[in-house]
Structure 1
Amino acid sequence: GSMAGFDLLAAEQVISLKKQFPNIQLISVAPYSVHFFSREKCWTPEWIHRAREVFQQHDFGISLSEYYRLGIYYERNRVLVDHSSELICYHDGGKGGTENTVQYARSRMHNIHNLCP
């Protein structure tokens, strides 16, 4: 997902496992260009730096749009589910993007691994 929080923490873990598991790949699907994250008020300088580091070390990455636009997160989540067979998430039961993604993955019969206790 390439967003601040769980997405980037998970990506950093994949990067840290590359020496131990050389065949593991990190594929990043960002909703919009990482260069524009700094314009979002919710992104701290630390998260902007971490996002850029992940984008420099991933095996393949795309941005669905150059800029933020309405519906881009929904589109990104569908791309992630449509190109996977399992979902690893941290869903605390709240409503929003993660909930919608979990429901969509269920409708696609994906195995779902929720890391939230």
Structure 2
Amino acid sequence: MKRSIAILALTLASLAPAMAQDAEAGKSVFGQCRACHAVGETAKNGVGPQLNGLIGRKAGTVAGYNYSDANKNSGKVWDEATFTAYIKDPKGQMPGTKMVYAGLKDETRIANLIAYLKTFGPDGKAK
């Protein structure tokens, strides 16, 4: 029994680093998003809205961006769980969205992307 517990503890300990969020790795993941979205102090809306201060923001509220009715009226607030579900399957999570993206399925890459996005405040300055 003690041996089983020890093996379980070692297994869980080895998984922890893989599940940790890595903002630097998320910067690389954001490369896929960069064609439509921007972050940082000079970020502007493009094909998609700028993503500064995304986590904690109500969906469809970036000034100057022409959102779909689906996004504006979704009632979503972007937290980690909501964004994770959305980025995996944008059209499935928000039918009628203008976002043309098949989805990011890898949990680690999503966690890293979120970590990177969280480094930018609403004004685009690094936190």
Pair in the same fold by TM > 0.5:
no
- Which structure carries more relative contact order (alpha carbon 8 Å, separation 6+)? 2
Smaller-chain TM-score bracket: under 0.3
> TM-score, with normalisation over the residues of structure 2?
0.26
As a proportion of its length, which structure holds more strand? 1
